[in-house]
Amino acid sequence: MSEPLNVDDFEAAARERLEPGPYAYYAGGAGDEHTLRANSAAFTRWELRPRVLVDVSDVSTETTVLGTHVELPLLVAPTAFHRLAHPEGELATARAAAAAGTVMCLSTLSSVSPAELAAAAPGAPQWFQLYCSRDRGFTKELVGAVGDAGFRALVVTVDVPVAGRRERDLRTEYALPDDLPAPNLPVVLARKDFHAALSAIVDSTLTWRDLEWLRSISPLPLVVKGVLTAEDALLAAEHGAAGIVVSNHGGRQLDGVPAALDVLPEVAEAVGERVEVLVDGGIRRGTDVLKALALGARAALAGRAVLWGLAAGGEEGVVQVLTLLRDEIASGLMLLGCARPDDVTRTHVRPAGPSV
């Protein structure tokens, strides 16, 4: 195909290169995939409200997230097993994120340890996404290793008491390769029916009190990922979270829940300035990021878009995806009449449809 121009083009290139099983694993969602589709569709339900005759001769996409400087208000979301997309896996993604000047969040379900990722991009800002194991001793050791590797935040995923039913994987009868490592799990992960195996590893007894335990064993800022209600957002703030990721796990858990963008305003309004609010799910354009900022997010996270770049072109493919999204954010800021991401406010969006 010709040179990819957008994330959809990168997905098309990735689909050509990937076997059906890995592609379905990355692309699929739970159940009938209503929520998966809703995540992207939600962005079409909001329109941008540009202001004109504003000096935008000096536009920057730079911002801060949890006190860390980033070159754009878009982070690399935690996604599993990058080695299925490219032999260099998470190491290539880490180098690309560092080159783009943004945070990479390493998944517990990764092919490398925190120390290995840190060594691939020395000094780059990195976060670790944690699935709390039933083996709390192992979890404590893993959290300690995350801190020792210099990671800057701990992102605990709270929407997986059990893995969602992902029928694309069932239809392809997909099994993980035998040589795929999973160093951040307390036991060897089953290659076939690995979703059920993961459910047996992740602690379904996890409660808000366990967040306090995590805070007691690590000085890292705690980010709670998987919040979809104002009530839970407030509880996260009360239990010491520094950040919240409004997320439905990319439509991969409970099918039929709202799109993340649709509940972002509710969550942002509930917590105010108490915690930083992030959002993931369905990011395909720089304008998607701008809409998320306008609706209360400090930054957005992209998962599948990065994987499509990795599958299509390895490290350089990820750099290209992040660069095109940064460029779209920059041009969008200029056209919106904003010089910085912090300038984007609720007044810059409105519900789609005719004016009342």
- Residues 6 or more apart whose Cβ sits within 8 Å of residue 339: 54, 55, 56, 58, 59, 60, 333
- Give 328's Cβ-side CA count (13 Å radius): 19
Given 82, 86, 249, 348, which residue is catalytic?
249
CA distance linking residue 193 with residue 165, whole number of Å: 11
Four-point Cα dihedral 268, 271, 272, 277, nearest 10: -50
- Phi, psi at residue 344, to the nearest 5°? -80, 125
Side chain identity at residue 84, one-letter code: L
Three-class SS state of 254 = coil
Q: What is the dihedral of CA 331, 337, 343, 345, to 10 degrees?
A: -100
Whether the CB-CB separation of 259 and 41 falls below 8 Å is answered with yes
Amino acid at the residue 230:
A
Structure tokens at 331: 């041009």
CA distances, 317 to each of 9, 190, 208, 283, 314 (Å): 12, 30, 39, 17, 5
Among all chains, which residue has been given the structure tokens 């995939």? 33
249 is catalytic: yes
Positions marked active-site:
249
